[in-house]
Amino acid sequence: MTPLDVARTFVDRINSRDVGGLVALMTDDHRFVDSLGRKMIGRDTMRAGWAAYFGMVPDYTLDPAEWFTEGEVVVTVGTAGGTYAPDGIGSPDRRWQTPAACRAVIRDGRVAEWCVYADNEPIRALMRQAAG
C-alpha cells in the first residue's frame, strides 16, 4: 500500500471504531499527538486510548475533505465530530463538530505517527455542561 492508502485505511478504521484494526496498522513505537500537544507512545497505550475515546464518543468520525502527500507524510483536512456520551446515552444536544486536520507519518506500511490538529472547545463545552 502507498502511504496515502495506509492513511485512508487508518481513517476508515477510526470511522468504524475498529480499535484492533487501528492497532494492526500502527508501528510498535507508534506516537499519537493530540490537539493539545500531549504525546502517547506505543500500540498498547493507543489501544487503551482509542477504546476509551470511542467509549466517550461512540460515533466519532473524521470526514476528510482533502488529502495531501509528500513522501511518507500524509495530511488530511476536513472535520471531526461525534456525540459526547460518557454515560453511553447519545442525544442530539451532545453532538459536536469541528474543523480538523490530521498528519500521518507512514513507515514500512504502518502509521508511525498520528497528529491531530483541531479546536476541541466544542466537546470540552459539552463535558463542562455534563459535569455541571
- Residue-wise DSSP of 13-63: HHHTT-HHHHHHTEEEEEEEE-TT--EEESHHHHHHHHHHHHHHSTT-EEE
* 55 vs 129, more confident: 55
Domain span at residue 24 reads: 3-131
Residue reference for cell 500537544: 37
pLDDT averaged over every residue in the chain:
94
Per-residue pLDDT, averaged over 48-59, amounts to 95
Is the pLDDT at 122 greater than 90, yes or no? no
Q: How many domains in the chain? A: 1
CATH number of the domain where residue 104 is located: 3.10.450.50
State the average pLDDT over residues 5-33. 98
* 3-class secondary-structure state, position 119: coil
Q: What is the pLDDT at residue 127?
A: 80
Rounded average pLDDT over 70-97: 91
Q: Is the CB of residue 123 less than 8 Å from the CB of residue 96?
A: yes
As a whole number of Å, the CA-based R_g of the chain is 14
pLDDT of residue 106: 98
- Composition of the chain by helix, strand, coil, percent to 5: 35, 40, 25
